[in-house]
Structure 1
């Protein structure tokens, strides 16, 4: 019952599905760790014991440790209605600052040469606009504005919208992708399948919008599947795991030893813009960062090793 209340509260506060999955996972782990005892019966010693187990036995990263703590704080304060005056005694783990992994232009091009079809198009779109993977996968037909050379990201991280440039070199490929997607959309209409998933309550407000071409995915899945939330059979967008596997294979085939992922393309986008002379505020706006301090991390990557200091070894004859 507690987990159902947890899901209801998360939905009420309009948290993302990924946040719901993470919070439910950690609350389940917490309950199982204490042998299925109800969380209302547990206190600061049990919470600290679980977090200590994660840090010492599981040796999770500081960010993972923080996520588990946030899930428990949400459970006690938002679901069970219990204040946590003892939370300050537990404390939060210190998350070390890590420099992002950056690919050079040649390395990005090498990866692209190993990709084909819509995987190549999606990778070029992520690098060309700086979008997150989920933002690219959730693009709708109406979000592409070819007349104004713009891509509109709806409800990105933090629920924010933003407008990005549409690279001229991608227009032909995106139009072909839309043509392929239109074939799938038309087949779904003929088969009488349910329309695509709609955000929030728009499916009730506009019942036919989900079946319209404007709301269809730019990168649809080749086959239909069952919606885990409603049980309705409909067509979803391309799965993130499918693209991540294809990208990982491309990195290996390109003989790149850096631990690159699709998100690395976003880091490369920001760094290469700064190298081209664009100001930090412009890059901040394109990335959708709320604080310029988050964007400033890329300026550290731009420095030549050692902050631009020349090694004395290179001065020896």
Structure 2
């Protein structure tokens, strides 16, 4: 299965590597929607999604989410009075499947002026809106596959343009459950001339996630075609204060923990997931790549998480943004 996927990706990429005469094109920013946690690791969450925001990045990693969850995210840019970026998502996790839905918006205020007198006229709001629906399926305990369908509306004054895009993703545990390998194709589909400059992104990722979720490291490589641009990034997340080890929060035992094994059937995948201890504590993150660097911090308190990230896009001091996010599990 993995060999077949890599072969398809290799052929797909090789077609566009030879097209040097093609002018540079860049992906629509809203199609790169992610979470504060992911942005704090420079976008390296392809394999390590642990809340509903994974639907924006790689729906296959929804199977790694421990509970149903809701994620909210707001980005503060250098032009915060004229630019509003927000996203929200929800995910439901089953025994061998998961699905999620996400909404994202990016609204810009444009100042218009009278061409004759040069005086300010009414403000114009130009918006991008994304609805993303994704699902994943567990082929077995170590292999997951996912797919997304994304609709985008580009609204500018009286004009509305619509685009439809698809994602495919696959992840596989290797050696042990803690090591994961994944590949994916993002943003291919049907669109009009307004969306004709959208790149298709081909991503490969390798990650290590400690079983108690107290540490993870992820490397990610993306090639965008037909522009043939490259993105390489490395992200690290580590628990710096563990509330569970300090004994601040005590977890109840699962109902089957005290029963003799002889009278107990093996617990289901859902029961195992619900019995798994949730991380609680303060986590720090860092990420670096050829497109910039980032730092992040989170507070986990059982079913609630509060996130913060600062992103230095392209390493420019005048291109810094801040993300604030929160996640609820239930």
Interval containing the TM-score (normalised by the shorter chain): under 0.3
Quick check: which one's strand share is greater?
2
Q: TM-score, normalised by structure 1?
A: 0.23
Structure index of larger Rg: 1
* Structure with higher helix content: 1
TM-score of the two chains, using structure 2 as the length reference: 0.23
